[in-house]
Structure 1
Amino acid sequence: MADQPKSPVWRVTPRMRLRSRALRQDMTDAERKIWFALRAHRLGDAGFRRQTPIGPYVVDFVCHRHAVVVEIDGGQHVEGSQREHDLRRDAFLRSKGYRVLRFSNLDVLTNLPGVLETIVTSLGTAPSLPSPASGGGGERGGFGGL
Structure 2
Amino acid sequence: MNQESNKWKHEKLAELLKENARRMRKEPTEAEEKLWQVVRNRKLAGFKFRRQHPFEGFIIDFYCEETKLGLEVDGKIHLQPAQLEYDQQREAYLNEFGIEIMRFTNEEVERNVFAVARMIKERLLERRKNLPSPLPLSRGRGASTKE
Q: Quick check: which has more Rg, 1 or 2?
A: 2
Does 2:78 align with 1:77? Answer: yes
Q: CA RMSD, aligned part only?
A: 1.3
Does 2:38 align with 1:61? Answer: no
User: Normalising to structure 1: TM-score of the pair?
Assistant: 0.76
Q: Which runs of 5+ in 2 are unaligned?
A: 1-10, 127-147
Cα deviation, residue 93, structure 1: 1.1
Cα deviation, residue 32, structure 1: 0.2
- Cα separation, 2, equivalents of 1:113 and 1:38: 11
> 2:135 is matched with which residue?
none
User: Normalising to structure 2: TM-score of the pair?
Assistant: 0.75
Cα deviation, residue 114, structure 1: 1.0
Q: Which runs of 5+ in 1 are unaligned?
A: 1-9, 126-146
Does 2:43 align with 1:45? Answer: no
Deviations 1:40-97, CA, capped at 9 Å, x for gaps: 0000120000001110100100000011000000001011111111001110111110
Structure 1 residue identity aligned to 2:80: E
- Cα separation, 2, equivalents of 1:19 and 1:119: 26
Deviations 1:82-136, CA, capped at 9 Å, x for gaps: 11110011101111101110000000000111100000000017xxxxxxxxxxx
More helix by share: 2
> 1:139 is matched with which residue?
none
Runs of 4+ in structure 1 deviating by more than 6 angstroms, as ranges, are none
> 2:143 is matched with which residue?
none
* Matched residues, number: 115
Look up the SS of the partner of 1:13 in the other structure: helix
- Cα separation, 2, equivalents of 1:74 and 1:57: 17
Task: Check whether the contact 2:14–2:57 (CA below 8 A) recurs between aligned residues.
Answer: no
- Cα separation, 2, equivalents of 1:56 and 1:16: 7
- Cα separation, 2, equivalents of 1:120 and 1:13: 31
Deviations 1:10-64, CA, capped at 9 Å, x for gaps: 8x81111101011101100000000001110000120000001110100100000
